[in-house]
Every structure is written in C-alpha cells, then in structure tokens.
Amino acid sequence: MGALLRILLIAVLFFYAFSMLIKLIFRRKMRKLEKQMNQYEQEETQTASHEDKKPHVDPNIGEYTDFEEIK
C-alpha cells in the first residue's frame, strides 16, 4: 500500500512540474513572437511612410484641373 501511494505522489508531482514547465515555455515563446510581430509592424510602418513621402508622378499625365460643380 505504501509503494502505491508513493508512486501516485511521484506521478502527481511529476505532472504538476511538467505542467508548470510547459506554461513557462509557452509564455516565453509568446513573448518572443509578440516582439517579432511588433518589430515587423514597425518595419511595415516605416516602409509605408517612406513610400508616402515619394509620390509617383507619371510624366505623361497632363496638368490637374480642379472643376467646380454647377447646380
């Protein structure tokens, strides 16, 4: 009876330690992924802002004329 109780206690402790370890690893991976996503988002924002500053103008297009609406 004592051996069975000892085995059950070891199994419960092993399961508890294993679940804590998995949670710790998962949190670290999620933080790393979050940092990578933030870095990617910042790069995308910087790339988009650089593209906005240099508008593409086709030299074959004529001058823009603003028309007024007549009612």
**24: confidence class by pLDDT, cuts 50, 70, 90:** very high
Question: For a pLDDT cut of 70, what percent of the chain falls above it?
Answer: 77
pTM: 0.51
**55: confidence class by pLDDT, cuts 50, 70, 90:** low
pLDDT digits (tens, 9 = 90+) for 3-17: 999 999 999 999 999
Q: What is the 3-state secondary structure of the chain?
A: CHHHHHHHHHHHHHHHHHHHHHHHHHHHHHHHHHHHHHHHHHHHHHHHHHHHHCCCCCCCCCCCCCCCCCC
